[in-house]
């Protein structure tokens, strides 16, 4: 019997990269559970992300997000979608436990803003009138952190199914414990 090399997958990347949608699809392919950091943080606060930012501030949001991430990264047979800013906090990706495969879902700032516009008021850091400039600046600052992921997959012109299939192919070559294809 082959020893499992990976027991969880962590998707990182900028807002609008597709972490949640790809994560759900990938979890289904693997026969694993899917969990989104933002969903768990919202459940803990009983508020939406924009309301958390408005009522408690980004600092408090990041504190709870860090605690949630620590708990979720202890789970097995799970695909995790981090928040867009989680991986950009110093040391977060360096502290990911063994058995975790990290994948950076790449997207341009322009495409991220286009995708985020589908859910207006859901992205508190893009709420300003200069969303494109804000996105470019944030992405430029965060990219070096995202680049620490084990793998990089471009999501710019791909469907959720295509991105999921690419990641599944990467994982299948690494003896990941899967139940379904």
Would you tell me how many other CB atoms lie within 10 Å of the CB of residue 123?
22
- Has residue 140 got a pLDDT over 50? yes
- Has residue 125 got a pLDDT over 80? no
- What pLDDT is stored for residue 78 in this prediction? 97
Mean pLDDT check: name the lowest of 27-41, 121-135, 153-167. 121-135
pTM higher than 0.75: yes
Q: What confidence tier does 121 reach under pLDDT thresholds 50, 70, 90? A: low
Q: How many CA atoms lie within 13 A of 61 on its CB side?
A: 23
Q: What is the CATH number that goes with domain 8-172?
A: 3.40.50.300
Look-up of token digits 């799970």: 78
CB 102 within 8 A of CB 35: no
Maximal CA-CA distance, the chain: 56
Neighbour-count burial of 41, counting CB atoms closer than 10 A to its CB (0-12 exposed, 13-18 middle, 19+ buried): buried
- Mind listing the pLDDT tens digit for each residue in 38-80? 999 999 999 998 899 889 998 999 999 999 999 999 999 999 9
Domain extents in the chain: 8-172
């Amino acid at each position: 019997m082959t020893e499992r090399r990976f027991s969880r997958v962590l998707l990182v990347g900028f807002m609008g990269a597709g972490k949640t949608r790809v994560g759900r699809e990938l979890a289904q392919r693997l026969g694993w559970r899917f969990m989104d950091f933002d969903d768990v943080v919202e459940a803990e606060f009983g508020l939406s992300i924009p309301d958390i930012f408005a009522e408690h501030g980004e600092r408090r949001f990041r504190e709870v997000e860090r605690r949630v991430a620590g708990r979720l990264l202890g789970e097995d047979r799970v695909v995790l979608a981090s928040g867009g800013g989680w991986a950009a906090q110093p040391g977060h990706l360096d502290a990911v436990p063994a058995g975790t495969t990290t994948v950076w879902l790449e997207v341009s700032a322009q495409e991220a803003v286009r995708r985020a516009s589908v859910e207006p008021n859901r992205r508190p850091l893009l709420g300003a009138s200069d969303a494109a400039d804000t996105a470019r600046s944030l992405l430029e600052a965060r990219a070096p952190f995202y680049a620490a992921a084990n793998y990089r997959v471009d999501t710019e012109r791909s469907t959720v199914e295509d991105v999921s299939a690419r990641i599944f192919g990467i994982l299948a070559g690494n003896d990941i414990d899967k139940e379904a294809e």
